[in-house]
Amino acid sequence: MQPIPDQFRDLMGAQVATLATVGPNGRPQQSLVWFLADGDQVRLSLNTSRQKTANLTGNPSCSLVIVDPANPYRYLEIRGAARVEADPDYTFADKVGGKYGADLRQHDAPGESRVVVTVPAERVRAVDMSA
């Protein structure tokens, strides 16, 4: 794993990130996602019925971009092979919900479930074009 540079670690607490996955047709799909930082990796709670979850299950290659809301010329990109694990009792989903003041169960239809997606920082690009 590659470390997140100290001068960009503040972005790991941002409100949203853009997750890019590879669809079954080979084309990229991007979604804004809620996330939690876990050291030098990012963890997401995703609904199993979403396309991005299917994409990561079929091809774990992904990229996550976190833009500084105060300076759009400063951002962090984390690339890696995602690990997808079941979260049947919403243990991790509740942690994510705690950050955002939300109950993720409210976003899921009856019978849907959640997974924990961990994106290790295999490649990190820290960019500040304002300097």
- Say which DSSP state 50 is in: S
* Averaged pLDDT, 97-102: 96
Q: Rounded to a whole number, what is the largest CA-CA distance in the chain? A: 49
Average pLDDT on 95-108 reads 96
pLDDT band at 62 (very low <50, low <70, confident <90, very high): very high
What pTM was computed for the model? 0.94
For domain 6-128, say whether CATH 3.40.50.10680 is its number: no
| pLDDT digits 0-9 by tens, 6-33 | 999 999 999 999 999 999 999 999 999 9
How far apart CA 121 and CA 117 sit, in angstroms, is: 13
